Amino acid sequence: MTNHNLPHKICLIYGNQQLLVEETTNNLIEERLEDREREWSLERFNAREMLKPSAAPDRNSIDDFLISCETLPMLTDRKVIQLDNFELIKKAVKTNDSKPLSKLFEALSNIINNPPESLWFVFTSSAMREQDFSKPLLRSIKQSGRIQKFVAYDDSSPFNWVVQRGEKKGVLLSADAARLMINIVGNDLTDLDHELEKLSLYFLGEPITEDLIKEHVRGHKHFSVFRMTEALSRKELLNALEILDQQLQATPREHVRLFALILMQFRRLLIIHCMLSQFYKESEILAKISLPPFIAKQVLEQAKNFSNLEMQNIYAELANLDLRVKFKSSLAPLLLQDLFQRICKGQFKTDA
Protein backbone atom coordinates (compact mmCIF):
# COMPACT_ATOMS: atom_id res chain seq x y z
CA MET A 1 0.00 0.00 0.00
CA THR A 2 1.30 3.44 -0.92
CA ASN A 3 2.03 5.87 1.88
CA HIS A 4 0.43 9.09 0.65
CA ASN A 5 2.52 11.17 3.05
CA LEU A 6 5.64 10.33 1.04
CA PRO A 7 6.51 12.34 -2.11
CA HIS A 8 6.00 10.76 -5.52
CA LYS A 9 8.81 8.38 -6.41
CA ILE A 10 8.61 9.25 -10.13
CA CYS A 11 8.45 12.85 -11.38
CA LEU A 12 8.61 14.34 -14.86
CA ILE A 13 9.36 18.06 -15.18
CA TYR A 14 9.37 19.48 -18.71
CA GLY A 15 8.94 22.57 -20.88
CA ASN A 16 10.83 25.35 -22.63
CA GLN A 17 10.93 27.58 -19.54
CA GLN A 18 14.30 26.22 -18.43
CA LEU A 19 14.52 28.33 -15.29
CA LEU A 20 11.27 26.93 -13.87
CA VAL A 21 12.20 23.40 -14.91
CA GLU A 22 15.54 23.70 -13.10
CA GLU A 23 14.13 25.37 -9.99
CA THR A 24 11.27 22.89 -9.68
CA THR A 25 13.65 19.97 -10.19
CA ASN A 26 15.99 21.26 -7.47
CA ASN A 27 13.08 21.80 -5.09
CA LEU A 28 11.78 18.28 -5.68
CA ILE A 29 15.23 16.83 -5.05
CA GLU A 30 15.64 18.85 -1.85
CA GLU A 31 12.21 17.73 -0.71
CA ARG A 32 13.10 14.09 -1.25
CA LEU A 33 16.61 14.23 0.20
CA GLU A 34 15.77 16.53 3.13
CA ASP A 35 19.07 16.96 5.00
CA ARG A 36 20.95 14.13 3.32
CA GLU A 37 24.32 14.79 1.66
CA ARG A 38 23.93 15.22 -2.11
CA GLU A 39 27.34 13.68 -2.72
CA TRP A 40 26.01 10.33 -1.55
CA SER A 41 22.30 10.73 -2.29
CA LEU A 42 22.09 12.22 -5.79
CA GLU A 43 23.18 10.92 -9.18
CA ARG A 44 22.54 12.64 -12.51
CA PHE A 45 22.44 11.14 -16.01
CA ASN A 46 21.76 12.49 -19.49
CA ALA A 47 19.88 10.37 -22.03
CA ARG A 48 21.54 12.20 -24.92
CA GLU A 49 24.99 11.26 -23.66
CA MET A 50 23.98 7.69 -22.89
CA LEU A 51 22.59 7.15 -26.39
CA LYS A 52 25.55 8.58 -28.31
CA PRO A 53 26.92 5.95 -30.70
CA SER A 54 30.56 6.78 -30.00
CA ALA A 55 31.45 6.49 -26.36
CA ALA A 56 33.67 9.01 -24.65
CA PRO A 57 35.53 7.31 -21.79
CA ASP A 58 34.25 9.70 -19.13
CA ARG A 59 30.58 9.85 -20.18
CA ASN A 60 27.74 8.16 -18.36
CA SER A 61 26.73 4.98 -20.14
CA ILE A 62 23.49 3.03 -20.08
CA ASP A 63 25.24 0.37 -18.01
CA ASP A 64 26.29 3.01 -15.46
CA PHE A 65 22.68 4.13 -15.21
CA LEU A 66 21.36 0.58 -14.80
CA ILE A 67 23.96 -0.26 -12.17
CA SER A 68 22.99 2.86 -10.25
CA CYS A 69 19.31 1.86 -10.41
CA GLU A 70 20.09 -1.63 -9.16
CA THR A 71 22.51 -0.64 -6.40
CA LEU A 72 21.34 0.16 -2.92
CA PRO A 73 22.39 3.61 -1.64
CA MET A 74 25.66 3.70 0.27
CA LEU A 75 26.13 5.77 3.42
CA THR A 76 22.52 6.93 3.19
CA ASP A 77 19.04 5.43 3.27
CA ARG A 78 17.71 7.23 0.18
CA LYS A 79 18.95 8.18 -3.27
CA VAL A 80 17.54 10.39 -6.05
CA ILE A 81 18.44 9.75 -9.68
CA GLN A 82 17.93 12.64 -12.11
CA LEU A 83 17.67 11.80 -15.81
CA ASP A 84 17.75 14.68 -18.34
CA ASN A 85 16.48 14.67 -21.96
CA PHE A 86 13.83 12.13 -21.04
CA GLU A 87 12.00 12.76 -24.35
CA LEU A 88 14.70 10.78 -26.19
CA ILE A 89 13.74 7.52 -24.53
CA LYS A 90 11.20 5.76 -26.72
CA LYS A 91 10.42 2.27 -27.87
CA ALA A 92 12.82 1.73 -30.75
CA VAL A 93 12.29 0.14 -34.11
CA LYS A 94 14.14 -3.19 -34.11
CA THR A 95 17.49 -2.51 -35.77
CA ASN A 96 21.07 -3.09 -34.71
CA ASP A 97 21.48 0.60 -33.89
CA SER A 98 18.42 0.59 -31.65
CA LYS A 99 19.67 -2.03 -29.19
CA PRO A 100 20.95 0.51 -26.59
CA LEU A 101 17.70 2.51 -26.85
CA SER A 102 15.59 -0.62 -26.43
CA LYS A 103 17.65 -1.62 -23.42
CA LEU A 104 17.18 1.77 -21.79
CA PHE A 105 13.47 1.93 -22.65
CA GLU A 106 12.74 -1.50 -21.16
CA ALA A 107 14.71 -0.71 -18.01
CA LEU A 108 12.90 2.59 -17.46
CA SER A 109 9.54 0.99 -18.14
CA ASN A 110 10.19 -1.51 -15.37
CA ILE A 111 11.49 1.17 -13.00
CA ILE A 112 8.51 3.48 -13.51
CA ASN A 113 6.01 0.69 -12.98
CA ASN A 114 7.85 -0.76 -10.00
CA PRO A 115 10.38 1.73 -8.56
CA PRO A 116 12.98 0.36 -6.12
CA GLU A 117 12.14 1.02 -2.50
CA SER A 118 15.08 3.27 -1.65
CA LEU A 119 15.27 5.19 -4.95
CA TRP A 120 13.44 8.27 -6.24
CA PHE A 121 13.54 9.43 -9.87
CA VAL A 122 13.24 12.91 -11.39
CA PHE A 123 13.08 13.10 -15.21
CA THR A 124 13.55 16.41 -17.02
CA SER A 125 13.05 17.54 -20.61
CA SER A 126 12.93 20.70 -22.72
CA ALA A 127 10.11 19.22 -24.83
CA MET A 128 6.91 21.28 -25.05
CA ARG A 129 4.25 18.64 -25.81
CA GLU A 130 3.13 15.33 -24.40
CA GLN A 131 3.39 13.92 -27.93
CA ASP A 132 7.17 14.30 -27.68
CA PHE A 133 7.36 11.54 -25.06
CA SER A 134 6.93 7.81 -25.22
CA LYS A 135 3.21 7.10 -24.77
CA PRO A 136 3.72 3.99 -22.57
CA LEU A 137 6.22 5.73 -20.29
CA LEU A 138 4.09 8.87 -20.01
CA ARG A 139 0.98 6.83 -19.28
CA SER A 140 2.78 4.96 -16.48
CA ILE A 141 4.06 8.20 -14.91
CA LYS A 142 0.55 9.67 -15.01
CA GLN A 143 -0.82 6.67 -13.14
CA SER A 144 1.53 6.73 -10.18
CA GLY A 145 3.85 9.71 -10.50
CA ARG A 146 3.87 13.48 -10.84
CA ILE A 147 4.12 15.59 -14.00
CA GLN A 148 4.72 19.34 -14.15
CA LYS A 149 4.80 21.35 -17.36
CA PHE A 150 6.38 24.79 -17.81
CA VAL A 151 5.81 25.99 -21.36
CA ALA A 152 5.74 29.55 -22.70
CA TYR A 153 4.50 30.28 -26.20
CA ASP A 154 5.63 33.16 -28.39
CA ASP A 155 2.71 35.39 -27.45
CA SER A 156 2.64 34.67 -23.72
CA SER A 157 3.53 37.40 -21.24
CA PRO A 158 4.86 36.43 -17.77
CA PHE A 159 3.83 39.76 -16.26
CA ASN A 160 2.94 38.52 -12.76
CA TRP A 161 6.09 36.42 -12.57
CA VAL A 162 8.33 39.39 -13.43
CA VAL A 163 6.71 41.63 -10.82
CA GLN A 164 6.85 38.96 -8.09
CA ARG A 165 10.38 37.90 -8.95
CA GLY A 166 11.46 41.52 -8.95
CA GLU A 167 9.99 42.00 -5.45
CA LYS A 168 11.99 39.01 -4.16
CA LYS A 169 15.16 40.58 -5.54
CA GLY A 170 14.32 44.04 -4.17
CA VAL A 171 13.53 45.42 -7.65
CA LEU A 172 10.41 47.58 -7.45
CA LEU A 173 8.85 47.43 -10.91
CA SER A 174 5.77 49.36 -11.89
CA ALA A 175 3.28 47.56 -14.13
CA ASP A 176 4.40 49.61 -17.14
CA ALA A 177 8.10 48.97 -16.43
CA ALA A 178 7.47 45.21 -16.13
CA ARG A 179 5.61 45.11 -19.45
CA LEU A 180 8.33 47.16 -21.13
CA MET A 181 10.99 44.75 -19.88
CA ILE A 182 9.06 41.78 -21.30
CA ASN A 183 8.66 43.53 -24.66
CA ILE A 184 12.38 44.22 -24.86
CA VAL A 185 13.80 41.05 -23.32
CA GLY A 186 11.21 38.51 -24.44
CA ASN A 187 9.31 35.98 -22.33
CA ASP A 188 12.12 33.56 -21.49
CA LEU A 189 12.27 33.49 -17.69
CA THR A 190 16.01 32.81 -17.57
CA ASP A 191 16.73 35.96 -19.59
CA LEU A 192 14.28 37.99 -17.50
CA ASP A 193 15.79 36.68 -14.28
CA HIS A 194 19.27 37.76 -15.41
CA GLU A 195 18.01 41.26 -16.21
CA LEU A 196 16.27 41.52 -12.83
CA GLU A 197 19.46 40.38 -11.12
CA LYS A 198 21.43 43.14 -12.86
CA LEU A 199 18.85 45.75 -11.88
CA SER A 200 19.00 44.57 -8.27
CA LEU A 201 22.76 45.22 -8.19
CA TYR A 202 22.35 48.83 -9.29
CA PHE A 203 18.93 49.90 -8.00
CA LEU A 204 18.14 47.74 -4.96
CA GLY A 205 15.02 49.09 -3.26
CA GLU A 206 14.56 51.93 -5.74
CA PRO A 207 11.49 52.32 -7.98
CA ILE A 208 12.35 51.18 -11.51
CA THR A 209 11.06 53.58 -14.16
CA GLU A 210 10.55 52.95 -17.87
CA ASP A 211 13.53 55.22 -18.61
CA LEU A 212 15.76 53.05 -16.41
CA ILE A 213 14.55 49.92 -18.21
CA LYS A 214 15.26 51.46 -21.64
CA GLU A 215 18.71 52.58 -20.50
CA HIS A 216 19.89 49.45 -18.73
CA VAL A 217 18.56 46.61 -20.86
CA ARG A 218 19.55 48.05 -24.24
CA GLY A 219 22.45 45.62 -24.49
CA HIS A 220 20.19 42.59 -24.24
CA LYS A 221 20.16 40.26 -27.25
CA HIS A 222 16.42 40.80 -27.78
CA PHE A 223 16.62 44.60 -27.87
CA SER A 224 17.80 44.69 -31.47
CA VAL A 225 14.75 42.57 -32.42
CA PHE A 226 12.62 45.18 -30.65
CA ARG A 227 14.29 47.85 -32.82
CA MET A 228 13.89 45.73 -35.96
CA THR A 229 10.10 45.46 -35.61
CA GLU A 230 9.98 49.21 -34.93
CA ALA A 231 11.97 49.96 -38.10
CA LEU A 232 9.77 47.65 -40.15
CA SER A 233 6.62 49.28 -38.79
CA ARG A 234 8.00 52.68 -39.80
CA LYS A 235 8.95 51.28 -43.25
CA GLU A 236 12.64 52.03 -42.68
CA LEU A 237 13.98 49.32 -44.98
CA LEU A 238 17.75 49.76 -44.51
CA ASN A 239 17.53 49.77 -40.71
CA ALA A 240 15.19 46.77 -40.67
CA LEU A 241 17.39 44.74 -43.08
CA GLU A 242 20.58 45.64 -41.21
CA ILE A 243 19.19 44.42 -37.89
CA LEU A 244 17.72 41.30 -39.53
CA ASP A 245 21.13 40.47 -41.00
CA GLN A 246 22.82 40.98 -37.62
CA GLN A 247 20.29 38.70 -35.92
CA LEU A 248 20.60 35.92 -38.50
CA GLN A 249 24.40 36.04 -38.33
CA ALA A 250 24.41 35.91 -34.54
CA THR A 251 21.70 33.23 -34.25
CA PRO A 252 21.18 31.63 -37.69
CA ARG A 253 18.78 28.99 -36.38
CA GLU A 254 16.40 31.42 -34.69
CA HIS A 255 14.55 32.51 -37.82
CA VAL A 256 11.32 31.02 -36.44
CA ARG A 257 11.55 33.19 -33.32
CA LEU A 258 12.22 36.29 -35.43
CA PHE A 259 9.25 35.51 -37.63
CA ALA A 260 7.04 34.99 -34.56
CA LEU A 261 8.01 38.44 -33.23
CA ILE A 262 7.25 40.04 -36.59
CA LEU A 263 3.90 38.27 -36.66
CA MET A 264 3.12 39.46 -33.13
CA GLN A 265 3.94 43.07 -34.07
CA PHE A 266 1.68 43.08 -37.12
CA ARG A 267 -1.09 41.36 -35.19
CA ARG A 268 -0.99 44.32 -32.81
CA LEU A 269 -1.06 46.78 -35.69
CA LEU A 270 -4.00 44.96 -37.29
CA ILE A 271 -5.95 44.97 -34.01
CA ILE A 272 -5.35 48.71 -33.67
CA HIS A 273 -6.54 49.26 -37.26
CA CYS A 274 -9.70 47.27 -36.56
CA MET A 275 -10.42 49.46 -33.53
CA LEU A 276 -9.72 52.63 -35.48
CA SER A 277 -12.13 51.51 -38.21
CA GLN A 278 -14.77 51.06 -35.49
CA PHE A 279 -14.21 54.69 -34.40
CA TYR A 280 -12.53 53.90 -31.08
CA LYS A 281 -10.85 56.92 -29.59
CA GLU A 282 -7.07 56.77 -29.23
CA SER A 283 -7.41 56.88 -25.44
CA GLU A 284 -9.73 53.85 -25.60
CA ILE A 285 -7.30 51.95 -27.81
CA LEU A 286 -4.40 52.68 -25.47
CA ALA A 287 -6.48 51.40 -22.56
CA LYS A 288 -7.45 48.18 -24.37
CA ILE A 289 -4.08 46.98 -25.68
CA SER A 290 -1.95 45.43 -22.92
CA LEU A 291 1.23 47.41 -23.49
CA PRO A 292 3.07 50.06 -21.46
CA PRO A 293 1.94 53.58 -22.45
CA PHE A 294 5.37 54.29 -23.95
CA ILE A 295 5.15 51.31 -26.34
CA ALA A 296 1.38 51.57 -26.88
CA LYS A 297 1.74 55.13 -28.16
CA GLN A 298 4.56 54.08 -30.47
CA VAL A 299 2.55 51.18 -31.88
CA LEU A 300 -0.47 53.44 -32.36
CA GLU A 301 1.65 55.85 -34.40
CA GLN A 302 3.20 52.99 -36.37
CA ALA A 303 -0.26 51.68 -37.29
CA LYS A 304 -0.95 54.98 -39.03
CA ASN A 305 1.84 54.18 -41.52
CA PHE A 306 -0.45 51.52 -43.05
CA SER A 307 -3.92 51.52 -44.53
CA ASN A 308 -6.51 49.03 -43.32
CA LEU A 309 -6.32 47.08 -46.59
CA GLU A 310 -2.52 47.11 -46.47
CA MET A 311 -2.54 45.64 -42.94
CA GLN A 312 -4.94 42.87 -43.97
CA ASN A 313 -2.78 42.00 -46.98
CA ILE A 314 0.41 41.93 -44.90
CA TYR A 315 -1.16 39.72 -42.25
CA ALA A 316 -2.49 37.35 -44.92
CA GLU A 317 1.00 37.12 -46.42
CA LEU A 318 2.48 36.37 -43.00
CA ALA A 319 0.00 33.51 -42.65
CA ASN A 320 1.07 32.20 -46.09
CA LEU A 321 4.75 32.36 -45.15
CA ASP A 322 4.35 30.68 -41.77
CA LEU A 323 4.98 27.05 -42.75
CA ARG A 324 7.64 27.95 -45.34
CA VAL A 325 9.69 29.85 -42.75
CA LYS A 326 9.34 27.04 -40.20
CA PHE A 327 10.15 24.10 -42.46
CA LYS A 328 12.45 25.58 -45.13
CA SER A 329 15.18 26.99 -42.93
CA SER A 330 17.64 27.49 -45.81
CA LEU A 331 15.17 29.81 -47.54
CA ALA A 332 14.03 31.65 -44.40
CA PRO A 333 16.54 34.56 -44.64
CA LEU A 334 15.59 35.23 -48.28
CA LEU A 335 11.87 34.99 -47.47
CA LEU A 336 12.22 37.50 -44.63
CA GLN A 337 14.33 39.90 -46.69
CA ASP A 338 11.82 39.79 -49.52
CA LEU A 339 8.96 40.36 -47.06
CA PHE A 340 10.74 43.40 -45.56
CA GLN A 341 11.28 44.94 -49.00
CA ARG A 342 7.67 44.46 -50.06
CA ILE A 343 6.34 45.94 -46.79
CA CYS A 344 8.63 48.97 -46.85
CA LYS A 345 8.00 49.65 -50.57
CA GLY A 346 4.24 49.63 -50.05
CA GLN A 347 3.53 46.64 -52.27
CA PHE A 348 0.65 45.51 -50.05
CA LYS A 349 -1.36 48.71 -50.48
CA THR A 350 -3.57 47.17 -53.15
CA ASP A 351 -5.13 43.75 -53.63
CA ALA A 352 -2.84 41.25 -55.31
Where do the CATH 3.40.50.300 domains begin and end in the chain? 10-149
Residue 1 has pLDDT above 50, yes or no: no
pLDDT in tens, 151-194: 876 556 788 999 999 999 999 998 888 888 887 787 788 889 98
Instruction: State residue 224's pLDDT score.
Output: 67
Instruction: State residue 231's pLDDT score.
Output: 86
Query: Does the pTM exceed 0.75?
Result: no
Lowest mean pLDDT among 42-46, 143-147, 188-192: 188-192
Residue 59 pLDDT grade (very low, low, confident, very high; cuts 50, 70, 90) = low
Residue 2 pLDDT grade (very low, low, confident, very high; cuts 50, 70, 90) = very low
Asked if 169 contacts 139 with a C-beta cutoff of 8 angstroms, the reply is no
Residue 97 pLDDT grade (very low, low, confident, very high; cuts 50, 70, 90) = low
Q: Above pLDDT 90, what percent of the chain?
A: 31
pLDDT in tens, 280-333: 888 888 777 766 666 677 788 888 888 889 989 999 999 888 888 888 878 888
Q: The domain 10-149 is classified under which CATH number: 3.40.50.300, 3.40.980.10, 2.40.37.10, 3.40.50.620?
A: 3.40.50.300
Residue 43 has pLDDT above 50, yes or no: yes
The CATH T-level fold of domain 159-216 is Helicase, Ruva Protein; domain 3 (1.10.8)
For the domain made up of 223-344, the CATH class stated in words is: mainly alpha
Mean pLDDT of the chain: 84
Instruction: State residue 78's pLDDT score.
Output: 86
Where do the CATH 1.10.8 domains begin and end in the chain? 159-216
Instruction: State residue 57's pLDDT score.
Output: 52
Residue 223 has pLDDT above 70, yes or no: no
Where do the CATH 1.20.272.10 domains begin and end in the chain? 223-344
Task: Tell me the DSSP string of 96-160.
Answer: GGGHHHHHHHHHHHHHHHS--TTEEEEEEE---SGGGS-HHHHHHHHHHSEEEE----TT---HH
Instruction: State residue 302's pLDDT score.
Output: 85
